[in-house]
């Protein structure tokens, strides 16, 4: 069992988790036969050719409650599925006899040079997909040349990520809590950690119901129930990683928020602290308190997009929270054209939701998104192989973006526009009744 460092308390839940996991390894032999099952080891991921390959491996390696947390939507999951399927309906125009030399996917997001118009999105509980997950994701993003966003609900803290990346700039995603002093402290910590932009999420004032989380009894660390222990017994790679790290709860909250010394339930925290009274006045207050670049996440309506421009934000993200909030909302790619039309060049427009390939990035760019963000594609790589898996996910997306762009007769990502799409196959701005 991990020993507590001076001044640190190990909770009863964490002690129980240790005992349960250690029992697994004394009662059963470690299953190291991933190669025998056809799963490539992390040192050779050449046979991993698409994001779906990473998803399949992650599903085998990550405990069910955490895999389901990442790979599910709210209620009927209609919007969650539409985020992917609506991309698939869009067709690309293939061109020939074009000089395809000197291609580049390089672009900018908020004035920052990026290897491709892709950033890693903020995802809660990332450190439960793989031990020290946020640190590994941030390192992979730094090496690849794309931005990384840390969630308020991360397992690794702001300070952990800053230290592990030698204070390389990253973005911090902020939820608005009732406790404004806690918000002020988070903003100050983000500034001290060398965060270069604040990403304010606007679509989680209340929590959409995710059936799988309720049925799985989602908690961190996992409660040592018989069902959980049996599932953990099939995830030796994950268990070994967790036994080797001290980071198993919400690093930005536990020990920082008032009266929170031990946090084991995501739902109870959000029900108590997420502020349903969030307004554009709060956005103005946070922007002034931060004083740097700010990104507004969760914009799905043209009217809200105009309000985002009026707020003075530097960028907005067309996002339905991965289909995890309002089930029945349009897909992000379907909402994108209306928002681009509403704001023009007054603010950078990005989007997330459903991106599983370089072609999806290309289609989003063609419909006016200056940048995109990946959440699940990143988490699949992380859960499957840790940092090498994240790198592999980025490689897959960039390679497909480059090749597909070339087939469409373009050599620079900044040349991509709606003319590369087949008319009648892509979404148009919504008409207002």
Predicted local confidence at residue 343, as pLDDT: 98
- Is the pLDDT reported for residue 162 higher than 90? yes
- Is the pLDDT reported for residue 365 higher than 70? yes
Q: Tell me, rounded to whole angstroms, the distance of Cα 49 from its chain centroid.
A: 21
Domain ranges, ordered by start, for the chain: 12-413
Name residues whose C-beta falls within 8 Å of residue 273's C-beta, 6 or more positions apart in sequence: 177, 178, 179, 182, 257
Catalytic residue among 18, 130, 237, 321: 321
Name residues whose C-beta falls within 8 Å of residue 187's C-beta, 6 or more positions apart in sequence: 174, 198, 286, 289, 290
What confidence tier does 21 reach under pLDDT thresholds 50, 70, 90?
A: low
Q: Are 92 and 408 in contact (CB under 8 A)?
A: yes
What confidence tier does 35 reach under pLDDT thresholds 50, 70, 90?
A: very low
The CA-atom distances, in angstroms, between 49 and each of 83, 103, 217, 392, 397 are: 22, 21, 34, 9, 10
User: Is the peptide bond between 221 and the residue preceding it cis, with omega within 30 degrees of 0?
Assistant: yes
Q: Which of 48-52, 211-215, 310-314, 367-371 has the lowest mean pLDDT?
A: 211-215
* pLDDT per residue as tens digits for the range 294-314: 999 999 999 999 999 999 999
- Is the pLDDT reported for residue 255 higher than 90? no
Half-sphere exposure of 302 (CA within 13 A, CB side): 13
Q: Are 170 and 195 in contact (CB under 8 A)?
A: yes
Predicted local confidence at residue 228, as pLDDT: 86
Mean pLDDT of the chain: 90
- Is the pLDDT reported for residue 431 higher than 90? no
What confidence tier does 206 reach under pLDDT thresholds 50, 70, 90?
A: confident
Half-sphere exposure of 53 (CA within 13 A, CB side): 18
Closest by CA position to 60, among listed 357, 376, 355, 385 = 385
What confidence tier does 274 reach under pLDDT thresholds 50, 70, 90?
A: confident
Name residues whose C-beta falls within 8 Å of residue 212's C-beta, 6 or more positions apart in sequence: 68, 69, 72
State the DSSP code for 148. Answer: B
Q: Are 282 and 314 in contact (CB under 8 A)?
A: no
Predicted local confidence at residue 63, as pLDDT: 95
Structure-block tokens of residue 173: 């995603």
What percentage of the chain exceeds 70 in pLDDT? 87
* pLDDT per residue as tens digits for the range 37-73: 555 666 689 999 999 999 999 999 999 999 999 999 9
Cite the DSSP H helix spans in 264-310.
Answer: 266-273, 280-290, 302-310
> What does the pLDDT average to over 327-334?
97
Q: Tell me, rounded to whole angstroms, the distance of Cα 281 from its chain centroid.
A: 27
* pLDDT per residue as tens digits for the range 386-414: 999 999 999 999 999 999 999 999 999 99
- Strand-pairing partners, residue 299, are 318
Q: Is 23 a residue of the active site?
A: no
Instruction: Classify strands 371-374 and 118-120 as parallel, antiparallel or unpaired.
Output: parallel
* pLDDT per residue as tens digits for the range 59-113: 999 999 999 999 999 999 999 999 999 999 999 999 999 999 999 999 999 999 9
Q: Which CATH architecture has domain 12-413?
A: Alpha-Beta Barrel (3.20)
For residues 318 and 176, give the distance between their C-alpha atoms in angstroms, rounded to a whole number: 19
- Is the pLDDT reported for residue 433 higher than 70? no
């Amino acid at each position: 069992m991990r020993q507590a460092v001076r001044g640190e308390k190990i909770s009863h839940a964490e002690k129980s988790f240790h005992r349960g996991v250690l029992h697994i390894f004394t009662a059963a032999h470690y299953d190291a036969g991933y190669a025998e099952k056809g799963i490539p080891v992390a040192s050779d991921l050449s046979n991993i050719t698409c994001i779906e390959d990473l998803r399949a491996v992650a599903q085998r390696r990550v405990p069910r409650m955490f895999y389901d947390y990442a790979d599910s939507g709210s209620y009927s999951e209609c919007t969650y599925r539409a985020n992917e399927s609506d991309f698939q309906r869009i067709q690309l125009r293939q061109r020939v006899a074009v000089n395809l030399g000197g291609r580049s996917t390089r672009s900018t997001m908020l004035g920052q040079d990026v290897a491709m118009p892709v950033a890693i999105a903020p995802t809660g509980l990332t450190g439960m997909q793989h031990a020290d997950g946020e640190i590994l994701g941030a390192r992979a993003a730094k090496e690849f040349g794309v931005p990384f966003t840390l969630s308020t609900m991360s397992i690794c803290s702001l300070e952990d990520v800053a230290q592990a990346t030698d204070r390389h700039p990253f973005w911090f995603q902020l939820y608005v809590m009732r406790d404004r002093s806690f918000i002020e402290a988070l903003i100050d910590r983000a500034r001290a950690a060398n965060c270069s932009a604040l990403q304010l999420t606007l679509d989680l004032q209340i929590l959409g119901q995710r059936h799988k989380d309720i049925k799985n009894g989602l908690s961190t660390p996992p409660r040592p129930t018989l069902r959980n222990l049996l599932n953990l017994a099939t995830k030796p790679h994950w268990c070994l990683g967790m036994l080797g790290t001290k980071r198993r709860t919400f690093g930005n909250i536990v020990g920082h928020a008032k009266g929170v010394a031990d946090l084991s339930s995501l739902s109870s925290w959000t029900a108590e602290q997420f502020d349903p009274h969030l307004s554009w006045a709060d956005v103005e207050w946070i922007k002034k308190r931060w004083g740097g670049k700010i990104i507004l996440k969760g914009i799905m309506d043209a009217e809200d997009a105009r309000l985002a421009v009026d707020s003075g934000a530097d960028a907005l993200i067309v996002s339905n929270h991965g289909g995890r909030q309002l089930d029945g909302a349009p897909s992000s790619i379907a909402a994108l054209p209306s928002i681009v039309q509403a704001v023009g060049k007054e603010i950078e427009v990005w989007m997330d939701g459903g991106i599983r390939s370089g072609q999806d990035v290309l289609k989003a760019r063609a419909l006016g998104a200056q940048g995109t963000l990946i959440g699940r594609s990143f988490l699949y790589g992380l859960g499957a192989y840790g940092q090498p898996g994240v790198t592999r996910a980025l490689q897959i997306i960039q390679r497909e973006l480059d090749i597909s762009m070339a087939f469409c007769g373009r050599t620079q990502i900044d040349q991509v526009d709606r003319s590369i799409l087949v008319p009648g196959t892509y979404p148009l701005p919504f008409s207002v009744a």
